[in-house]
Amino acid sequence: MNEKKSYAGIDRMRFIAAFLIVAIHTSPLAAQSIAADFVLTRVIARVAVPFFFMTSGFFLISKYGRADKLKSFLKRTAVIYGAAILLYIPVNIYNGYFMSDDLLPKLIKDVVFDGTFYHLWYLPASMLGAVIVWYAVKRLGFKKALAVTSALYLIGTLGNSWYAFVSQVPAAKSFYGLLGQISDYTRNGIFFAPVFMVLGGWIAEERRKKPDASFSFKIGLVGLAVSFALMLGEAFLLRNYVLSKTDLPMNRDLADAILQRDYGEQRNDSMYLFLLPCMYFLFDLLLRFGGKRRRELRSLSLIIYIVHPMMILVVRVAARILGIWHILVNNSIVHYLAVSLLSFVFAYAALLIWEKKKRPSLRARRGRERAWIETDMGNLAHNAAALRGAMQDGCGLMAVVKADAYGHGAYDTAVCLERQGVNAFAVATVDEGIELRKYGISGDILILGYTDPRRAVHIRRYRLTQTVLDLKYARLLERQKKTVAVHIKIDTGMRRLGIDAEDIKSVEKVFSMGHIKVRGIYSHLCCSDSLNEEDVFFTENQIERFERLLDGLKADGFDPGKTHIQSSYGLMNYPELKFDYVRAGIALYGVLSDCRGGVRNPLDLRPVLSLRSRVVLIREVKKGESCGYGRAFTAKRDSLIGILPIGYCDGVPRSLSEGVGAAEIRGRTAPFAGRVCMDSVAVDVTDIEDIAVGDIATLISDDPQSPLYAPLVAERTGSISNELLCRMGDRLE
Ligand SMILES: *Cc1c(COP(=O)(O)O)cnc(C)c1O
């Protein structure tokens, strides 16, 4: 699944939906045509809120999701809700909200269901909805959960836009009267939000199983058009029915006032039966949009949604003070545009300030001034899918993101993978693990290497899993008296870390320790990349020893927990093995370690990273002149030399000097001229026509056909891609 392709439409729709919500609350076309305004704000714009619920469901709801994912969603939403409540307190005071007689019951009802300001109901609704849906899907599976929440939605809709009809039946009327005691509207976290969240989660689930769309673009478009037409019909039918009863002209304010009086506060027109198919097709179409992700639109739309009622007030006050009420308020289009613009500017400014405070690197990254890494997260997602496709059923992907995800950036990598449903990660050190937790990664995180036992407190606090390196290490850890989760490492022949595979007694001793909770057992293959007969024999022996140990443990009544032995090459050369995880690193990043020999089961992998810099100076060097340290380069002809401000400190190996290394500029090869320095390298650009200052130079390419494909570059330095990639310097953008 290509992440870029999947979510670009969602990102953009978030932004559009925010302005549709502003429209609902400002009626932009009311002064021109009541009917047109009705279609815009009471029909079209009604897709906005369900869309947000579906998006939450899409990213949150999964049968296999872990409870901490829900917890962090609830926590985040609660914080936003709390902030929004505080923000509107002054307005509430002004409106006399706190002067009400039975303030406490009203307050509780509002905080839990209706929101303390008219638009804020969405936040408690998404929390309540998420909890309901989370457990419904886990207990019942998607199909039954969809049935149950659809039934809730039906009940809700009958008490919402269909209420005028339904209230003819006395029993129904009293039923909804009763519901009205709890929540002013059925448009809430019980009757409205859940079905859309399930639908979103279900669509995500289907796509995980089968990335290809289940119907053509055309059918989707027709589906959307038909369901929208039906929804439009439904809306007008209901509207006309209500209006026919009240004998009112199509004057909305008046009609609404009368309806309020006659039907009580429950009447509202945000729920239609045909909204369901409409949303399904709309969301499916959005997922087909290509293009770059625009994550910032998510926060922007959220802030716009929260502040726009405030901006309505601001516009009104400004209109009053400036004496331009007739332009700024009475002209409904101008009013809408003013509110939208103000909300947008406010949101944008808030976001800039926030980002500056939080992650200054985010903005710096746009620079691409000197030397930088580009990562294609779509390719990362693709590789994850390819690896998973090659695994045996029941086997999970443990993404190895040590060393800043092999130079790819642990944050972007882990977040992207978590979105792909990866919920197991491996790091080398405890601090790398803590870092991941701080980024909000909620899956299992296994520390593969040594951690000072005194840091057991950190292992526990951040819910990390430590590797038991040997029995002695286990004893030191046990002595800390902190309950920690571990995987036991077994040495099956690498002779580096682990308890000897034959030493089952020692392994069992670890099981009996009180503070150490064994959650898994693993080993590491040391020549699984080689298909040479002797190495294959050795590897098979390693696997056998591991399996024998597992059998022994089971026979003695111990549960080994999660078992794993393959890394990238383990999967590509021994795909038939059945363990719980494959710990994949290098393959995830789309490259092989080297270009020697093939693998038994080659995968369609796409390199994720490219390393680039810019030509910042071009100078002429006359024939016979030398340049650089040690005068290593001597011009054999009058030459043009380009200077790239990137050096071995940034990860360009020094061994790639004259005659070995090269960059790619304008699709042509520019050989290194002289030695790689700490902060710069000179390249011979004599043969590149139109070479210009500012041209981008590639030093490691994400094109597997390029001579700068990572394994090829690594080979020239006498190393492997793994080393080349993980040595990218901190200085890179
Ligand atoms: C780094 C590491 C891996 C990942 O190996 P790749 O060859 O990059 O897939 C797996 N297991 C252990 C123990 C590691 O240290």
Are 592 and 675 in contact by the 8 Å Cβ rule? The answer is no
**Those residues with Cβ within 8 angstroms of residue 421's Cβ, 6 or more apart along the chain or in another chain:** 62, 64, 208
Element of type H or E holding 156: helix 122-158
Residues 471, 469: Cα–Cα separation, whole Å: 7
- Distance of alpha carbon 274 from its chain centroid, rounded? 30
Residue type present at position 115: G
- Among 731, 661, 666, residue whose Cα is nearest residue 700: 661
Structure tokens at 223: 């589906």
pLDDT of residue 31: 85
In this structure, the number of other CB atoms found within 10 A of the CB of residue 352 comes to: 12
Q: Is the pLDDT of residue 357 over 80?
A: no
Q: What is the pLDDT of residues 46-74, one digit of tens each?
A: 999 999 999 999 989 887 677 778 998 99
Cα(445) to centroid of ligand 1, in Å? 14
The minimum-distance atom of ligand 1 relative to the CA of 402 is 1
| 585 Cβ closer than 6 Å to some ligand 1 atom | yes
The minimum-distance atom of ligand 1 relative to the CA of 449 is 15
| Residue of 583, 589, 719, 720 to mutate, ligand 1, most atoms within 8 A of C-beta | 583
pLDDT of residue 246: 59
Q: Looking at ligand 1, which residue's alpha carbon is closest to its atom 7?
A: 568
pLDDT of residue 183: 81
Largest CA distance in the chain: 102
496 SS3 class: coil
pTM of the model: 0.56
| 405 Cβ closer than 6 Å to some ligand 1 atom | no
Residues 578, 574: Cα–Cα separation, whole Å: 10
pLDDT band at 167 (very low <50, low <70, confident <90, very high): confident
Q: What is the mean pLDDT of residues 373-398?
A: 95
The residue with greater pLDDT, 361 or 143, is 143
410 SS3 class: helix
Confirm whether 629 is a catalytic residue.
yes
| 545 Cβ closer than 6 Å to some ligand 1 atom | no
Cα(461) to centroid of ligand 1, in Å? 25
577 SS3 class: coil
| 564 Cβ closer than 6 Å to some ligand 1 atom | no
pLDDT of residue 253: 53
Cα(567) to centroid of ligand 1, in Å? 5
pLDDT band at 364 (very low <50, low <70, confident <90, very high): very low
| 588 Cβ closer than 6 Å to some ligand 1 atom | no
Cα(573) to centroid of ligand 1, in Å? 15
Q: What is the mean pLDDT of residues 447-460?
A: 96
Q: What is the mean pLDDT of residues 293-299?
A: 84
| 599 Cβ closer than 6 Å to some ligand 1 atom | no
| 448 Cβ closer than 6 Å to some ligand 1 atom | yes
pLDDT of residue 210: 75
Burial class of residue 598, CB neighbours in 10 A (0-12, 13-18, 19+): exposed
For 179-184, the CB contacts below 8 A with 24+ separation are 179/266, 180/264, 180/265, 180/266, 182/109, 182/113, 183/109, 183/112, 183/113, 183/114, 184/109, 184/113, 184/114, 184/265, 184/266
| 567 Cβ closer than 6 Å to some ligand 1 atom | yes
Of 70-79, 169-178, 714-723, where does mean pLDDT reach its minimum? 169-178
Structure tokens at 419: 């979105």
Cα(570) to centroid of ligand 1, in Å? 10
Strands 562-566 and 581-584: parallel
| 524 Cβ closer than 6 Å to some ligand 1 atom | yes
Residues 1, 386: Cα–Cα separation, whole Å: 9
The residue with greater pLDDT, 547 or 182, is 547
**pLDDT cut 70: percent of the chain above it:** 94
Q: What is the mean pLDDT of residues 307-321?
A: 94
Q: What is the mean pLDDT of residues 607-626?
A: 94
Question: What average pLDDT does the structure give for the chain?
Answer: 90
pLDDT band at 263 (very low <50, low <70, confident <90, very high): very low
| 400 Cβ closer than 6 Å to some ligand 1 atom | yes
pLDDT of residue 579: 97
Q: Looking at ligand 1, which residue's alpha carbon is closest to its atom 6?
A: 585
For 517-538, give the DSSP string: EEEEEEE--SSTT--SHHHHHH
Cα(722) to centroid of ligand 1, in Å? 10
pLDDT of residue 358: 57
The minimum-distance atom of ligand 1 relative to the CA of 489 is 13
pLDDT band at 369 (very low <50, low <70, confident <90, very high): confident
Q: What is the pLDDT of residues 634-671, one digit of tens each?
A: 999 999 999 999 999 999 999 998 788 999 999 899 99
Structure tokens at 88: 């509107």
Q: What is the pLDDT of residues 670-698, one digit of tens each?
A: 999 999 999 999 999 999 988 999 999 99
Cα(105) to centroid of ligand 1, in Å? 58
Cα(330) to centroid of ligand 1, in Å? 66
| Residue of 429, 524, 567, 589 to mutate, ligand 1, most atoms within 8 A of C-beta | 567
Q: Is the pLDDT of residue 327 over 70?
A: yes
pLDDT of residue 245: 67
Query: Which of the residues 94, 118, 241, 629 is marked catalytic?
Result: 629
Residue type present at position 93: I
Q: Is the pLDDT of residue 730 over 80?
A: yes
Of 18-27, 161-170, 349-358, 386-395, where does mean pLDDT reach its minimum? 349-358
Residue type present at position 268: N
Residues 124, 129: Cα–Cα separation, whole Å: 8
pLDDT of residue 249: 46
Q: Is the pLDDT of residue 363 over 70?
A: no
pLDDT of residue 256: 56
Q: What is the mean pLDDT of residues 389-408?
A: 95
Q: What is the pLDDT of residues 456-492, one digit of tens each?
A: 999 999 999 999 999 999 999 999 999 999 999 999 9
Confirm whether 402 is a catalytic residue.
yes
Cα(232) to centroid of ligand 1, in Å? 56
Q: Is the pLDDT of residue 361 over 70?
A: no
The minimum-distance atom of ligand 1 relative to the CA of 586 is 8
Query: Which of the residues 402, 482, 489, 562 is marked catalytic?
Result: 402
